[in-house]
Amino acid sequence: MTRDPALSVDGLSVDYPLSSGGLFRRARSVTAVSDVSLQIAPGETLGLVGESGSGKTTVGRAILRRVPASAGRISFEGKDITHLRGDALRKLRARMQLILQDPYTSLNPRMTVADIVAEPLLVHGLVASRAEAAREVRGLLDRVGMPADAADRYPHSFSGGQRQRIGIARALALKPSLIVADEPVSALDVSVRAQVVNLMQDLQRELGIAFLFIAHDLAIVRHISHRVAIMYAGRIVEVAPREAIYERPVHPYTEALLSAVPVADPPVQRARRRIIHPGEAVDIADPPSGCRFHPRCPIATERCRDEVPPLEPKAEGHMAACWNRGGVMGLRMKVHS
């Protein structure tokens, strides 16, 4: 059975201007995201992983229509939203919400928790009165495990984990069907991180919310995601169901990334083979030709330098962009052709 995806992104590119043009000067820009395609089913969590500058945050912002797409198409619940404006865009924003990394800067310090959570309800006219808003807020705070007396206090009196719960309550207020969570637990301490991760999983089970979970922590992503997409230098290099990515990675970059994450188990960690590539993440303003990973890749060939590898099926539900890793599907297709 295939359901309509909650979100479908096709060939998305996003340019950021570096300098504006002049009379005799062309405007310069950097392409932060190139030709990204992904789908998220209703109630599914897609983990989007990459290192700094890989473009993962930009993908999230483009989906929420906070930065304009320079190419490609974004569909949400079956509707093209790439160029929505005005009222239609406002209505859309109620259905898609954002949870940010830093719960210290994403809550207005001069508003009470009740006002913070009620604001979207009032802005979108979903409640008739302040009294109704207060009732809703009580329900939402309870839903995210905050005590009832939190409503009248200010953000500064809460810990990081509690602030992140407040941010989640605010995101839930409009009953969204998709939440983009951009590094929602990276700023939290380990013991508190688990509380927030568990909360997000409970909410998904109960409310059927789809998550785009943007993170650099591969262990958290494995825990929370159904499928995982790996980004490198503005492109998706591999996307597959969770088990397939972690147990049978295809792309050399995914392999290197996974092998670099230390496992919290001493005998296991000592025995692991680490693939440590020289060099660092690419300069996105001047990316390498062809496959952007080729300067660091141990199996790169001539072709990798010249041609961009397409993101293509390598196994059931498993896509990767690599010329030199055929995978099961690649072999099968060769036999048929």
**Contacts to another protein by CB under 8 A:** 51-52, 159, 161-162, 189-195, 197-198, 201, 216, 218-220, 222-223, 242, 246, 256-270, 274, 276-277, 280-281
Closest CA to 255 of 232, 233, 234, 271: 232
CA 31 to chain centre: 18
In whole angstroms, the minimum distance from the beta carbon of 284 to another protein comes to 13
In whole angstroms, the minimum distance from the beta carbon of 105 to another protein comes to 16
In whole angstroms, the minimum distance from the beta carbon of 184 to another protein comes to 14
Q: Which two tokens stand for residue 230?
A: 């790996």
Closest CA to 224 of 45, 5, 38: 45
Pick between residue 98 and residue 144 the one whose CB is nearest to another protein.
144
Pick between residue 257 and residue 319 the one whose CB is nearest to another protein.
257
Pick between residue 124 and residue 153 the one whose CB is nearest to another protein.
153
Pick between residue 265 and residue 302 the one whose CB is nearest to another protein.
265
What is the C-alpha separation between 174 and 118, in angstroms, rounded?
10
Going by DSSP bridges, is the β-strand pair 178-182/96-99 parallel, antiparallel, or unpaired? parallel
In whole angstroms, the minimum distance from the beta carbon of 252 to another protein comes to 12
Pick between residue 143 and residue 223 the one whose CB is nearest to another protein.
223
In whole angstroms, the minimum distance from the beta carbon of 168 to another protein comes to 15
Pick between residue 70 and residue 186 the one whose CB is nearest to another protein.
186
The 3-state DSSP class for residue 190 equals helix
In whole angstroms, the minimum distance from the beta carbon of 267 to another protein comes to 7
Residue 111 CB neighbour total at 10 angstroms: 14
Pick between residue 174 and residue 275 the one whose CB is nearest to another protein.
275
Pick between residue 76 and residue 253 the one whose CB is nearest to another protein.
253
CA 42 to chain centre: 15
Q: How many CA atoms lie within 13 A of 58 on its CB side?
A: 28
Helix ranges (H only) for the chain are: 56-63, 86-95, 113-123, 130-143, 160-172, 190-207, 218-224, 242-247, 252-260, 266-271, 302-306, 327-336
Closest CA to 216 of 57, 329, 324: 57
Residue 240 CB neighbour total at 10 angstroms: 26
Going by DSSP bridges, is the β-strand pair 28-40/7-19 parallel, antiparallel, or unpaired? antiparallel
In whole angstroms, the minimum distance from the beta carbon of 11 to another protein comes to 27
Q: Which two tokens stand for residue 256?
A: 């290197």
Q: Which two tokens stand for residue 313?
A: 């099926």
